[in-house]
Structure 1
Amino acid sequence: MKILLSAYACYPGRGSEDGVGWQWAVGLAELGHEVWIITRDDQTKRRAIENFLSSRPDLEARLHPHYFDFGTNHGNTMPYQRFEQFHFIHWQLRVLPEAQKLEATHDFDLVHHITFGTVRFASWLWKLKKPFIIGPLGGGETAPWRLRIGYSRIGHLKELARDASNAFIRFDPTVQQMLKNADVIMCKTAETLSYIPQKYRHKSITKIEIGIDQENIRDCTTDTLCEKNKLRLLYVGRLVHWKGVNFSLAALKRAKDLGANFEFTIVGKGDELNQLRSLAKLHNIERQINWKEWVSKSELTRIYDDHDVLLFTSLHDSSGNVIMEALSRGLPVCSLDLGGPGALLSDDVGWLIPINKRSVNQILDHTAETIQRICRNPDEINNRKKNIPEYLSRRSWIDAIENAYRESLAMLKNKTRI
């Protein structure tokens, strides 16, 4: 098939939305499709994609990047970094004529909007009048009100603005037009699916969009050796209110009171850094915390390999790339049973902390007791490490993409237009 893939975020070797856009482009080409990627212009991105294609001559004939941007800073994304969502919305409006030119030349069999994968923002590519797939979409995941108690004032305001934006989805004519004209709507989680109007549910499916590079999987068969019987916990990600690091610190304070011996390494930076440092001091666990800003990819790999468990108490992630990264390095994951992490994880490779019908104190106690139990019994880790290779063997990028497209193309084949 000839596929036009709209991937505003698309960059080799990166994570998050950039990684999703690129991995789906490569995966579709590896499955035998001919793929035209239309993506935001960026000089460093161009070089990265050119370098990749020169190293993969088997894909050069099937993977065609097409770069588009607008304004005086064409090819330079630096001015847009602080206002990326606004630039994305404008880009979606401006990219349609460019896509129409590509369609006139190549006569695509299918059009697919992949990034940004959020239900709050519209794509206009349904106007190409070709079978149109959107997603997987996230963004419908919401932090439970009772778990927002530790938010900063700014965090509360940002969360309320996000709630309002999600509430507006049902009334946003641009989003509703996109959903109406899409042939297949892929959602990352059941929470996002709940924002799809019932009249469009017959063409909606739930699919996690991320996977793992099988060649990056570490041998997880050896037992963990907690240094000096100290549990080495790790967090990797942005330090923003909804990532729930404040929740992890509160749980660790209780775990310390229960006698747990641990250290917690936090890799990342963000607006909440100073507040989190103050919170660690307030909880009297500052000596157990190691703070690191962003590090190189090779250094991050070493950090993963030097730790035992990823502690990831995010409050509304729609997927969880860091979870897959941690598992690939042999780290089981302790997470709240929410959103993408709740859909990704199982008790075979981690610990899911239940939140339904539980108070904040009950959730914190459960998390603290889980950490204490892991400290006292390293087999809690070892038994899960042994399950990781089999778990990951079914979660490669190509598996995720092939599975999503198998179901989507079947829906297209059997589709009756309403």
Structure 2
Amino acid sequence: MPSPTSARPRLLLGCYTCHPTLGSEPFVGWNRVVQAARFGDVDVLLCAGEAEAEVLEAAVEREGLSGRVRFHTVEHTKLERVAQRVPGGFYPTYRRWQRRALRLAQRLHARRPYDLAHQVTFCGYREPGDLWRLDVPFVWGPVGGTQNTPAAFLDTATVGMAVTERLRTVANRVQLRGRRVRQAAAAADVLLAANSTGKRDLEGVLGRPVRQLLETGTGPVGVEKRWAEREPGPFRLLWAGQLNPTKGLRLAVQALADLRAADGDPDVKLIVVGDGPERDVVADVPGVDWRGWIPRPDLIDLYAKADAFAFTSLRDTSGNVMLEALAAGLPVVYLDHQGAHDVCSGDCGVPVPVTTPDDVVRRIAQAVTALATDPARYDRLSRGAIERARSLGWRANGDAVNALYAQALGLDPGSSAHPAGDGALLTDETRLELVAR
């Protein structure tokens, strides 16, 4: 184990997916690597081919991290790639990949030992990987995926959703108690949950303290919006994501329909970005401007032009689009549960209690009306959105994790040799006190 005055700690990160320009899990993996490289020298295990590895190496050089980060690729076999396309085939192939990744990790560890291992992506708790078997301090998470669709909303969309979500709820009860989850959790020096729902669920099953930290972070943060400077025309409410039943788009569309039926102010346009099986919910609907999938620069431009953002997901670990909206200064109308509850508050958006579908639709309509008719409140929430986005940046998130690395290694978290920050995003009262094994 390194001392505060020794060489930089050697870290091994398990990042099944990692990419500097893609969104979601690949971007999470990439940012975890960048932040960890501020603390130590990082080896990364990932599922990638030669072309992707070259992209990553070039990105490392652009970040000024050459010599601090090395990538070790473990590709899927042809059989695994075929099996992943079969329903239910993903996790068995992912598990096989994790076994091969462990064998490579063991060979690398034997040549030059690591000081700490961190399982990063995928963020889902169902497959914790095997890096905890290396017999070095182990960090797992932040993990998500324990949240379920609220019971009152199971029958609001398709029969397929009703069946699938009920089965998923049962699966969560079983898999949270699974052997591999328990083994990895018992071995973890630090176990992180991505939201308060996951913290509650994991603590209830594992019987040990679990820290809470958002699994993702905001990128560049813009400036607040001012009602007096908005473009004339209808109030532009933006929604973005996969068009599938669990994203709750039907709730926003119905709220818009109710506003239009009321025959009064405000005049609202719902802009929808995304595609999927529920495209019929928005296609040719009055008041809805459906854009489908658009290039990322165009989406960033829409954030800049929109007036507010709607986040209606019925189950989500966090929601990267919500973070992007906050960073653009957009007040967020959101279902007040799971990750959204942790990310947003009444200081940067309008929370909608998750009660019944009819009540939620009514409250969404009320929230949009309030934003579109109260300039002072709008300006205050936009300022709050920018402040919240700044507090959720990747730098601060990385500081929190690096502080935990330092404590796991017995180092001073404030050491100039191993900058780690003060862990301000950790919500436990004992922020930097190591969780006992």
Length-normalised TM-score, structure 1: 0.89
Counterparts of 1:358-397 in structure 2 under 5 Å? 358-397=355-394
Counterparts of 1:19-168 in structure 2 under 5 Å? 19-29=27-37, 31-56=38-63, 58-72=64-78, 80=84, 84-168=90-174
Counterparts of 1:295-314 in structure 2 under 5 Å? 295-314=294-313
Residues 348 and 199 (structure 1), Cα distance of their counterparts in 2 relative to 1, 3 Å cut: closer
Residues 155 and 116 (structure 1), Cα distance of their counterparts in 2 relative to 1, 3 Å cut: same
Q: For each residue in 1:304-346, what CA deviation from the matched residue of structure 2 results, as whole angstroms up to 9, or x when unmatched?
A: 1121111111111111111111122221211010111110002
Percent sequence identity is: 25
Residues 412 and 138 (structure 1), Cα distance of their counterparts in 2 relative to 1, 3 Å cut: farther
1:210 corresponds to: 216
Q: Residue type matched to 1:317 in 2?
A: D
Length-normalised TM-score, structure 2: 0.85
Q: Residue type matched to 2:94 in 1?
A: F
2:3 corresponds to: none
Q: For each residue in 1:146-198, what CA deviation from the matched residue of structure 2 results, as whole angstroms up to 9, or x when unmatched?
A: 12232211112221232122011244212221122222110011211233255
Counterparts of 1:233-272 in structure 2 under 5 Å? 233-258=237-262, 259=264, 260-272=266-278
2:340 corresponds to: 341
Give, in angstroms, the shift of residue 145 of structure 1. Answer: 0.8
Residues 352 and 417 (structure 1), Cα distance of their counterparts in 2 relative to 1, 3 Å cut: closer
Residues 294 and 87 (structure 1), Cα distance of their counterparts in 2 relative to 1, 3 Å cut: farther
Residues 27 and 201 (structure 1), Cα distance of their counterparts in 2 relative to 1, 3 Å cut: farther
Q: Report if the CA contact (8 A) 1:38-1:66 is conserved.
A: yes
Distance 1:202 1:172 in 2: 16
Distance 1:248 1:169 in 2: 32
- Give the unaligned 5+ runs of structure 2: 1-8, 411-432
Q: Report if the CA contact (8 A) 1:184-1:203 is conserved.
A: no
Give the match's secondary structure for 1:238.
coil
Give the match's secondary structure for 2:299.
helix
Give, in angstroms, the shift of residue 416 of structure 1. Answer: 8.5
Give, in angstroms, the shift of residue 267 of structure 1. Answer: 0.6
Distance 2:111 2:148 in 1: 42
Q: Report if the CA contact (8 A) 1:230-1:375 is conserved.
A: no
The structure in which a higher percent of residues are helix is 1
Residues 294 and 85 (structure 1), Cα distance of their counterparts in 2 relative to 1, 3 Å cut: farther
Q: For each residue in 1:230-283, what CA deviation from the matched residue of structure 2 results, as whole angstroms up to 9, or x when unmatched?
A: 110111111111111111112222222333311111111112223x137xx7xx
Give, in angstroms, the shift of residue 88 of structure 1. Answer: 2.2
Residues 110 and 407 (structure 1), Cα distance of their counterparts in 2 relative to 1, 3 Å cut: closer
Residues 78 and 249 (structure 1), Cα distance of their counterparts in 2 relative to 1, 3 Å cut: farther
The one of 394, 398, 410 equivalent to 2:407 is 410
1:277 corresponds to: 282
- Give the unaligned 5+ runs of structure 1: none
Give the match's secondary structure for 2:107.
helix
Distance 1:327 1:308 in 2: 11
Give, in angstroms, the shift of residue 227 of structure 1. Answer: 4.5
Give, in angstroms, the shift of residue 390 of structure 1. Answer: 2.7
Question: 1:14 and 2:22 equivalent?
Answer: yes
2:322 corresponds to: 323
Give, in angstroms, the shift of residue 5 of structure 1. Answer: 0.3
Residues 73 and 35 (structure 1), Cα distance of their counterparts in 2 relative to 1, 3 Å cut: farther
Q: Report if the CA contact (8 A) 2:13-2:44 is conserved.
A: yes
